[in-house]
Amino acid sequence: MRELGFDEYLQSMLALPRPGAENFLGFYDHRIGAMCRDARLLLIPLDDHLCHRGDGLFESICFRQGRIFGLEAHLQRMRQGAEVLELTAPCPWEEMSRIICELCRACGVADGDLRVFLSRGPGGFGVQPSECPRAGFYVVVLRPKVHNAALYESGIRAFTSTIPPKQSYLARIKNTNYLPNVFMAREAEKKGLDVAVSFGEDGVMGEAAVANIAIVDADGRFVCPKFTHILPGTTLLAAMQLASQQMTVVQQDIRHEDLASAREVLLLTSSMLCVPVTSFDQKPVGQGELRGRPGPCARWLKERLFEELFAQGTAF
C-alpha cells in the first residue's frame, strides 16, 4: 500500500470525481468559520459522530425569491431536538440564523434549498458523546429541486409500506439516522410508485419517508395524525393553522378505512408544500366525481402555504 504525504494526498483527493457537484452552490463549516464554493471540499471528519452513530440533527429548508421559508420554525425544532440529545450548539442560535442568511446571500441566487446540520462533532469512534469536545454546525446551499408541475394536476400514488413507524422517542426529533426513511424510499422505487406510508401494528398511520400525510374526511374536516410516532412537520403545522380558517381541524388516529372514505388525502412537505394523493394501494382516492383526481383543498392549500410562508419568510 502506498503512503502519501499531505500535499500528495490532498491533490489526489481533489482529483476525485464529485457526483452532484452541479447542484452545489456553497457551504459553511463552523470549525473554519467561513464559506466555500468548491464541492470537492464538502467533507466532514469520519470520527464526527454524525457519520458513524447518526448522532446529530438536520433540517431541510427552502428559500424562494430571496426569502427563507420557516427558518425560525426549523431552528426551533432543531433546538428542541438538541435538548433531547443534550447536544450543545457551538454558537448561539441567533448566530446560526444569521450565518444561514449570510450564506444564502453570498451564494448570489434568489431560489435554493438548504441543508442545516448540528452534529455531536468529531472526537472518536466510540458511542459516548463525551468523547466529542465540541458540536459541529454545517450549512449547505443547493440549487432548488424542480418538481414536476404535472404532479399537482395528476396527484401522486401512495401505498402501505412494510416499514413500521418510528419509536416515539425518535420520531419527534429530526435526527440523521434515516435508515427507515431510506428503506421506504427504496420500496417506492422498486414498486414504481411515488410514496410509501408507514402503518403501525395497530393499523394507525404514521408518515411518509420525507413528508406528513393528512386527510379531508367525509365530514369535511382537516384531520392530522397525532404527534406520537411522526415528526411534526413545519409545513403540516402551517397547514393546520391555515386550514382552521376554512374548516374544523382535528388530530386523531388515521387508519386505512379513513383513507378509503376521505374526500382528499394530502401530502405535506417543505419542498412541495401540498400535493394531492390520488391513489392509495392502487385504489383511487376521493369520492364522487373527484375520485382519483385532485380536490379543492389540495389546490387551495398549496397556494395559501406559498403565500403565507413567503410573507413570513426571512429576507436575506
Average the pLDDT over 246-266 and give the result: 97
Task: Work out the mean pLDDT of the chain and round it to a whole number.
Answer: 96
Range of lowest pLDDT (70-84, 89-103, 144-158): 144-158
Q: What pLDDT was estimated at residue 7?
A: 97
Q: Could you tell me which residues are beta bridge partners of residue 26?
A: 141
% helix, strand, coil for the chain, step of 5 = 35, 25, 40
Q: What pLDDT was estimated at residue 5?
A: 98
Q: Are 246 and 262 in contact (CB under 8 A)?
A: no
User: Does residue 132 surpass a pLDDT of 90?
Assistant: yes
Joined together, the cell numbers standing for residue 104 give 444564502
The predicted-structure confidence for 280-306, as pLDDT tens digits, reads as follows 999 999 999 999 999 999 999 999 999
Q: What pLDDT was estimated at residue 260?
A: 96
Domains of the chain: 14-142 (3.30.470.10), 150-311 (3.20.10.10)
The predicted-structure confidence for 233-248, as pLDDT tens digits, reads as follows 999 999 999 999 999 9
% of the chain beyond a pLDDT of 70: 100
The predicted-structure confidence for 150-180, as pLDDT tens digits, reads as follows 889 999 999 999 999 999 999 989 999 999 9
Average the pLDDT over 79-103 and give the result: 97
User: Does residue 148 surpass a pLDDT of 90?
Assistant: no
If pLDDT is split at 50, 70 and 90, which confidence band does 147 have? confident
Q: What pLDDT was estimated at residue 150?
A: 87
Q: What pLDDT was estimated at residue 248?
A: 98
User: Does residue 68 surpass a pLDDT of 90?
Assistant: yes
Phi, psi of 118 (to 5 degrees): -120, 115
If pLDDT is split at 50, 70 and 90, which confidence band does 45 have? very high
Q: Are 256 and 233 in contact (CB under 8 A)?
A: no
Average the pLDDT over 46-75 and give the result: 97
